[in-house]
Amino acid sequence: MGITYYAGEQLRFKLREFSEYNRGIVVGFKGDTIQFDFGEVYVYDIVEIDVRAKTNKGTARRILFSGFGFFVMDWANQKIQYGTYQLNRTVMATSGVLVASAGIFYLIKRKKFQPRGRRHLLIMG
């Protein structure tokens, strides 16, 4: 399983010689080079790629809203049916687990890819 970039997508990366990130739109691939809108970059000169835009967009946010939504739906359901709200431990536990899971998922989400060791950049096609 890997992250795939296609022509027309924006890529944020760090080159070996520079300490800051560069940003470019991928125009194509030729041999061991990636062609950007500003020029070509040799694959082995890329030290780090920012993959935040490609990894699980919004998953943590969906889990977080699910936790809050589950609690709100239970509250509204009891308010409509009985006119009062009584705290339910099961609902609180489930909502808490969802909110905590979203926080943990957000913290451990992959933010960058560093090609070294057994991890390589591949140009396929």
Average pLDDT, the chain: 81
Residues sharing a CB contact under 8 Å with residue 108, sequence separation 6 or more, in sequence order: none
Which amino acid type is present at position 41?
V
pLDDT value for 120: 56
pLDDT attached to residue 54: 67
pLDDT of residue 85: 87
**Residue 66's pLDDT is what?**
93
Distance CA(118)–CA(60), nearest Å, equals 29
Distance (Å, rounded) from C-alpha 67 to C-alpha 95?
4
Q: Of the candidates 51, 50, 27, 49, which has an alpha carbon nearest to the alpha carbon of residue 40?
A: 27
In this predicted model, what pLDDT tens digit does every residue of 51-103 receive, in sequence order? 776 666 677 888 889 999 999 999 999 999 988 888 889 999 999 999 998 88
- State how far the alpha carbon of 86 is from the alpha carbons of 36, 80, 81, 114, in Å: 59, 12, 12, 51
CB 34 within 8 A of CB 40: yes
How much is the pLDDT for 70?
92
pLDDT tens digits along 111-123 = 666 666 665 565 5
Are the CB atoms for 51 and 3 separated by under 8 Å? Answer: yes
